[in-house]
């Protein structure tokens, strides 16, 4: 979560708080339309509804929410959608891997499974 606050909240109350939330993407960036709809519904409920798909960290980026929505957003994200926050720290919260067996019929190694296991350890 990237906290953003306006210097002049009296003049711009709509963006007094305008936090950005990074959401971890699935391995190889495969989504179902149901999952994307659920993410969008969640973000409409807790934020501005503005998104940036795969920003500089590779995460789904939710643009603009207030401080009081952060904890409920995180709870719903982790409990309803079984999804984690992303990030650009030194941990493995933003995994990346090749498409592996899903696009390469001669793949010798399941890169998606390896990435998943390393992320969860």
Give the phi and the psi of residue 65 in degrees, each rounded to 5. Answer: -145, 165
Nearest 5°: phi and psi at 61? -115, 120
Q: Quickly name the fold that domain 13-91 has.
A: Alpha-Beta Plaits (3.30.70)
Question: Which residue would you say has higher pLDDT here, 70 or 84?
Answer: 70
Name which of 2-11, 25-34, 72-81, 90-99 the model is least confident about. Answer: 90-99
3-state secondary structure of 5: strand
Report domain extents, the chain: 13-91
Q: What is the pLDDT of residues 3-48, one digit of tens each?
A: 788 788 888 887 778 888 888 776 666 788 998 999 999 999 999 9
% of the chain residues with pLDDT over 90: 26
**105/43: higher pLDDT:** 43
pLDDT at 111 exceeding the cut of 70: yes
In whole angstroms, what is the distance from residue 61 CA to residue 58 CA? 9
**Per-residue pLDDT at 27:** 63
With CA atoms as reference, report the closest residue to 97 among 27, 20, 42, 45: 27
| Total Cβ atoms within 10 A of residue 19 | 20
Answering whether pTM is above 0.85, one says no
β-strands 50-53, 60-65: how paired? Answer: antiparallel
């Amino acid at each position: 979560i990237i906290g953003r606050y306006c210097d002049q909240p009296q003049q711009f109350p709509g963006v007094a708080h305008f936090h950005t939330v990074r959401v971890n993407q699935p391995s190889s960036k495969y989504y179902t339309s149901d999952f994307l709809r659920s993410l969008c519904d969640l973000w409409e409920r807790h934020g501005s509804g503005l998104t940036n798909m795969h920003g500089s960290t590779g995460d789904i980026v939710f643009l603009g929410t207030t401080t009081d929505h952060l904890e409920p957003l995180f709870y719903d994200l982790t409990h309803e959608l079984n999804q984690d926050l992303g990030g650009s720290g030194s941990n493995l919260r933003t995994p990346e891997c090749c498409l592996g067996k899903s696009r390469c019929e001669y793949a010798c190694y399941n890169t998606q499974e390896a990435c998943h296991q390393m992320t969860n350890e």
